[in-house]
C-alpha cells in the first residue's frame, strides 16, 4: 500500500583535499542513513572534495568529470545496494571548456533519474564560481523518482524565489538544496548570526510561499584559502528540513552529523487548502517579473 510517509537522510560532513577519503566517508555516512531507514539521502554541494572556488585556478578543472562518469557509477552502485534514492552534487565536464555545477539524482536501481544544472552562479570574494561554471540550461524541472518529484536546485539558487516557485508549479513534492556556504572568519559574531538567519529564513520562506517541504544540506568545517595569508571559509552547517509552513522538522548545528527525518507528504495538500496561494496568484499582472528592473 502506498504511503505518504518518507524518510530522508541528511549527510553533513567536512572534507579534506583527499578525494578518495572524502568519498569513503560519504559512503559510510550514506550507508548509516540507509540503515536507519532513509529512502532518500541528500548530500552537500560539490561533496567529493574541498570547495575549490575560493580562487580562480585553471588546474581545478582537472577535478571535473562527465555525467555519466566515475561518481555516478560508484554512487549508483551504492544506491542500488542500499535501495535508496540519492542526490549527488558534481563538477560536470560537459565538453572541453564547458563545465557545470550539476546535481544528479540516482534512482534506487542505480540508474540516473535526472540532473539539474545550477542556474544562478555567484561571483563574490571566495566564491568565484563564474570562473568555473556555465549557467545551467535545463530549466527548473522536478525530477521524477520512486519517492516523488524532487525539485533539486543548488546553493546560490536558494536565494531566488523564482526557481522555488517554478519547481513548485511544476509539481515538485520537495525542494532540495545541496549547499556550500560559510563565514569569513573575521566577521563579527553579530554579522555571522545575521548571515545565518538570512540563509535559513529565505529558504523557509520558499516552504511557506509554496506550501512545500524544503531540504537544505550544507557542509561543515574550516577550509583554508589556497593563497598563504588569505582567510578561508568556515562552513556553518545548519542543514535543515522545513515543513510546508516553514516549521523546522530538523535543524542541525555546526558539527559533522547524519540524521534521518520522517515527513508526511500529505501535509502539502492540507496546508495548500488553508493557505491557497496558488489560487490567488495574479498571473495576469506578473509580466514585469521577467524584466531585470522596472524603470
- CA distances (Å), 67 to each of 12, 32, 78, 136, 293, in order? 24, 26, 17, 14, 36
Tell me the chain's radius of gyration from C-alpha atoms. 18
Backbone phi and psi for residue 246, each to the nearest 5 degrees, phi listed first: 80, 5
One of 25, 33, 39, 45 is an active-site residue; which one? 45
Phi and psi at residue 69, to the nearest 5°: -170, -165
Known active-site residue 118: yes
Local structure of 70: helix, strand or coil: helix
Distance CA 256, CA 220 (A): 6
45 a catalytic residue = yes
What lies within 8 Å, CB to CB, of 142 at 6+ separation is 149, 150, 151, 152, 167, 170, 171, 172, 173
**Active-site residue identified among 118, 129, 223, 259:** 118
Q: Write down the catalytic residue from 33, 53, 155, 259.
A: 155
Going by the DSSP 8-state scheme, the letter that residue 143 receives in this structure is: E
Indicate which residues carry an active-site annotation. Answer: 45, 118, 155
Amino acid at each position: 500500500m502506498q504511503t505518504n510517509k518518507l524518510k530522508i537522510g541528511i549527510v553533513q560532513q567536512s572534507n579534506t583535499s583527499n578525494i578518495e577519503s572524502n568519498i569513503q566517508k560519504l559512503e559510510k555516512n550514506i550507508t548509516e542513513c540507509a540503515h536507519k531507514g532513509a529512502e532518500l539521502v541528500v548530500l552537500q554541494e560539490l561533496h567529493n572534495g574541498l570547495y575549490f572556488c575560493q580562487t580562480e585556478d585553471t588546474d581545478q578543472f582537472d577535478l571535473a568529470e562527465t555525467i555519466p562518469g566515475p561518481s555516478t557509477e560508484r554512487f549508483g552502485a551504492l544506491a542500488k545496494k542500499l535501495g535508496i534514492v540519492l542526490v549527488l552534487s558534481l563538477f560536470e565536464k560537459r565538453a572541453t571548456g564547458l563545465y557545470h555545477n550539476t546535481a544528479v539524482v540516482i534512482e534506487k536501481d542505480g540508474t540516473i533519474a535526472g540532473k539539474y544544472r545550477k542556474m544562478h552562479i555567484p561571483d563574490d570574494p571566495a566564491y568565484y564560481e563564474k570562473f568555473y561554471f556555465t549557467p545551467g540550461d535545463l530549466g527548473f524541472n522536478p525530477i521524477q523518482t520512486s519517492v516523488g518529484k524532487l525539485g533539486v536546485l543548488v546553493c546560490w539558487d536558494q536565494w531566488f524565489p523564482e526557481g522555488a516557485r517554478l519547481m513548485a508549479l511544476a509539481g515538485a513534492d520537495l525542494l532540495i538544496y545541496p549547499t556550500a556556504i560559510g563565514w569569513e572568519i573575521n566577521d563579527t559574531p553579530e554579522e555571522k548570526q545575521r548571515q545565518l538567519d538570512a540563509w535559513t529564513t529565505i529558504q523557509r520562506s520558499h516552504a511557506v510561499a509554496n506550501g512545500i517541504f524544503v531540504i537544505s544540506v550544507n557542509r561543515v568545517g574550516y577550509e583554508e584559502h589556497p593563497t598563504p595569508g588569505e582567510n578561508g571559509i568556515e562552513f556553518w552547517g545548519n542543514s535543515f528540513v522545513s515543513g510546508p509552513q516553514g516549521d523546522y522538522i530538523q535543524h542541525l548545528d555546526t558539527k559533522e552529523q547524519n540524521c534521518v527525518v520522517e515527513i508526511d507528504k500529505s501535509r502539502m495538500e492540507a496546508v495548500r487548502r488553508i493557505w491557497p496561494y496558488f489560487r490567488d496568484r495574479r498571473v495576469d499582472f506578473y509580466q514585469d517579473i521577467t524584466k531585470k528592473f522596472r524603470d
